[in-house]
Amino acid sequence: MKTTSINSRRRNSSAAPPNLTDRDLVHELRQRLIGQQAAIDAIVPYVTMFQAGLSPEGRPAGVFLLLGPSGTGKTRTVEALAEVLHGSEKSVLKIDCGEYQMDHEVAKLIGAPPGYLGHRETQPLLTQFRLSSVASEQSPLSIVLFDEVEKAAPSLNRLLLGVLDKGQLRLGDNTSVTFENSIIFMTSNLGAAAMMKELGAGFGFKREGILDADRSRKLTAIADNAVRKSFTPEFINRLDATVTYEPLSREALDQILDLQIARLDTHIHNRLGLRAFNIDIRPEAREYLLERGVSTSFGARELKRTIHRQVLQPLANFILAGRIRPGSHVRIALSEAGDSLSFTQRLYDPAA
């Protein structure tokens, strides 16, 4: 009997679907999301199942609650998946639940019923059209994010329950939206304050690196407890997975900084084209950026802004002053006083 390896058949066929295998997905996500393996492990099987056409009928392809301290990559996870599946981190239908804290505000999402005041003016935000507009030719899977879900009004919670359960949402005008081709993420800071207390002041810049298993279990228990206090059992039962994000280790922060520096470099080259130059950030300058960009309260949230303020803005001023030559190497080091960054330019010498 002749057998063909499924793997090799898919890879060698010119008509291979653009779908990514679970290994490809894990690899691509790990390039973008650092140190939160539990999140990747939880999400990838559901995407693979959807791509294979094996997701359950009548419900979203996956429903995840992402918990944990601020700035540890919850939102970044969703953006990274969008980048991998659709080529853009913006391909996400995001609902800021903080904007729907009062029951009457929920009409903004689903539109007011006919005959109600403001029916014509309220165009629903959660339509089938908007849902499909965040899918792409590469993948029909729409990514939906309910951010800060603990802030949602009770009526939004009821609405969510229907979506999670039946994969359907009935709009004010009585039409319905199906979420079968959607993967739903909810993020929350529930339990985050208690987690920070458990972690003590050292969080965010942990030099010893990896969190020990005992602490990790404690954090998960804190998160589970907070979830049980705030959400009904029906809601919890409809989740495919709850993921507790861990504080970022020193190693993870280093890698995040690398990612952001690489992004800055791409940005300079994309925007300036032939006028572009290269940057070389010295180790002490990296340390300086990490110290300012990482904190107990905001994780790596401020890192991007710090790089913007401390590196990109000074570079912009040098460009405007005509002090950076195209093709040169700009070396970014710590100033002698140690309280700012210094920029020096080395001209590129093709003969060197």
Ligand X SMILES: Nc1ncnc2c1ncn2[C@@H]1O[C@H](COP(=O)(O)OP(=O)(O)OP(=O)(O)O)[C@@H](O)[C@H]1O
Selected binder of ligand X within 28, 35, 141, 157 (CB under 6 A)? 35
Shortest Cβ distance from residue 211 to Mg ion (Å)? 20
Does the protein bind Mg ion through residue 142 (CB under 5 A)? no
How distant, in Å, are the alpha carbons of 2, 12, 282 from that of 258? 48, 34, 12
Q: Is residue 127 within a helix (H) or strand (E), and if so which, with residue range?
A: none
Beta bridge partners of 346: 329
CA atoms within 13 A on the CB side of 293: 26
Fill in the per-residue mask, 247 to 286: x = in contact with ligand X (CB under 6 A), - = not in contact.
Answer: ---------x------------------------------
Closest CA to 51 of 76, 27, 84: 84
- Considering the complex, state which of residue 122 and residue 249 has its C-beta at the smaller distance from ligand X: 249
Decide whether 109 or 256 has the Cβ nearer to ligand X: 256
Q: Which is nearer to ligand X, 62 or 73 (CB)?
A: 73
Phi, psi of 306 (to 5 degrees): -60, -45
- In the bound state, the residue with its beta carbon closest to ligand X is 73
Pick the closer one to ligand X by CB: 104 or 197: 197
* Options 189, 216, 295, 345; binder of ligand X; rule CB under 6 A: 189
Stretch of residues binding ligand X (CB under 6 A), selected from 19-27, 31-39, 173-181, 340-348: 31-39
Q: What is the DSSP string of 94-152?
A: EEEGGG--SGGGGHHHH-PPTTSTTTTT---SS-HHHHHHTS-SS---EEEEEETGGG-
Binding of Mg ion at residue 77 (CB under 5 A)? no
- Scanning 74-82, 138-146, 202-210, 299-307 for contacts with Mg ion by CB under 5 A, the matching segment is 74-82
The type of residue at 216 is S
Helix (H, G, I), strand (E, B) or coil at 241: strand
Q: Which is nearer to Mg ion, 69 or 124 (CB)?
A: 69
Considering beta carbons, is residue 35 or 60 the nearer one to ligand X? 35
Of 144, 175, 160, which Cα lies nearest the Cα of 61? 144
72 contact, one of ligand X, Mg ion, none, CB 5-8 Å limit per kind: ligand X
From the list ligand X, Mg ion, none, pick the one residue 181 interacts with, judged by a Cβ distance below 5 to 8 Å according to partner type. Answer: none
Residue 235 and residue 238: Cα distance in Å, rounded?
5
* Site stretch for ligand X (CB under 6 A), options 20-28, 86-94, 150-158, 300-308: 300-308
- Candidate ranges 112-120, 196-204, 274-282, 293-301; the one touching ligand X (CB under 6 A): 293-301
Reduced to 3 states, what is the DSSP secondary structure of residue 154? helix
Torsion of CA 227, 232, 234, 238, to 10 degrees: -30
Identity (one letter) of the amino acid at 109? L
Q: If you ran DSSP here, which 8-state letter would residue 328 be given?
A: -
The verdict on 74 binding ligand X (CB under 6 A) reads yes
Nearest to 72 by CA among 204, 215, 266, 259: 204
The verdict on 75 binding Mg ion (CB under 5 A) reads yes
Among residues 62, 111, 172, 299, the one that binds ligand X under rule CB under 6 A = 299
51, 72, 127, 182: which one binds ligand X (CB under 6 A) = 72
Distance between CA atoms of residues 255 and 277, nearest Å? 23
What are residue 128's DSSP bridge partners?
A: none
Binding site for ligand X (CB under 6 A): 33-36, 70-76, 187, 189, 256, 299-301, 303-304
